[in-house]
Amino acid sequence: MTRASILRLHDALLREYGNLGWWPADDPFEIAVGAVLTQNTSWRNVERAIARLKKEGNLCPSRILELDASELESLVRPSGYFRQKARYLKELARYVERELNGDISLMSSKPMDKVRTDLLALRGIGPETADSIMLYALHMPSFVVDAYTLRLLRRMGIRHERSYGAVKTAFEEALEGDVSTLANAHAMIVIHCKTVCRAEPVCGICPLANTCSEAKEKKEGVANQRS
């Protein structure tokens, strides 16, 4: 994956989507909670769970710790895997309360490697969740690589390394470690893959079709059938 191929992809997405202003949330802890809840579910379900947490003022580390496990499970139920996610939120809240005096944003003053290691040590936080928290809640230049990113790169014919870390580094270097640019790049990829480059891609309306391998192959397939 070359710097030029990432920049071409980024610029084409930017022309179409502009600045999406992600991540929609009132504070950094809400972003971290959203990053945990969004695992294996749609954002609509996360919004429902977050609204339930907010309603009674439960969207802060101290309140999450005070809630009974069953109460918290019930509140985050709309996000699916609610027992597991309630346990993950308890662990995150315990960490923030004990190590950061209740303020997750204090993590942003630590070195990035340390922050990532600390987040990954928490149950339920894998690379994608850790990078979402770092990028959107802590404003650190840590690109989020998700299944959408890998699918889009494959379809576009942009060859890339197999490892999560290599793809992440390639984006971070190409986009020069700029937090806003990295944040918007991930947002644009997610939106594009949810609306156009879906499981069944809608290549006919895609702004990337001119430079996409999959679209080219489809076109050639149709031409061959006609001849």
Q: Which residues bind ligand SF4 (CB under 6 A)?
A: 155-156, 196-197, 201-203, 206, 208-209, 212, 214-215
Closest separation in Å from C-beta 38 to ligand SF4: 22
115/188 with CB nearer ligand SF4: 188
Closest separation in Å from C-beta 76 to ligand SF4: 33
Closest separation in Å from C-beta 158 to ligand SF4: 10
102/207 with CB nearer ligand SF4: 207
48/218 with CB nearer ligand SF4: 218
Using left for φ > 0, alpha for ψ between -120 and 50, and beta otherwise, residue 81 falls in: left
Q: How far is CA 208 from CA 9, 67, 153, 197, 217, in A?
A: 8, 47, 11, 10, 14
User: Is the dihedral angle over the CA atoms 34, 40, 43, 44 positive or is it negative?
Assistant: negative
Closest separation in Å from C-beta 4 to ligand SF4: 18
4/113 with CB nearer ligand SF4: 4
- For 168, half-sphere exposure in the C-beta direction (CA atoms, 13 angstrom radius) is 17
12/104 with CB nearer ligand SF4: 12
Q: Which residues contact 125 (CB under 8 A, 6 or more apart)?
A: 36, 88, 92, 119, 133
Q: Single out the residue of 112, 106, 148, 149 nearest to residue 131, CA to CA.
A: 112
Closest separation in Å from C-beta 193 to ligand SF4: 8
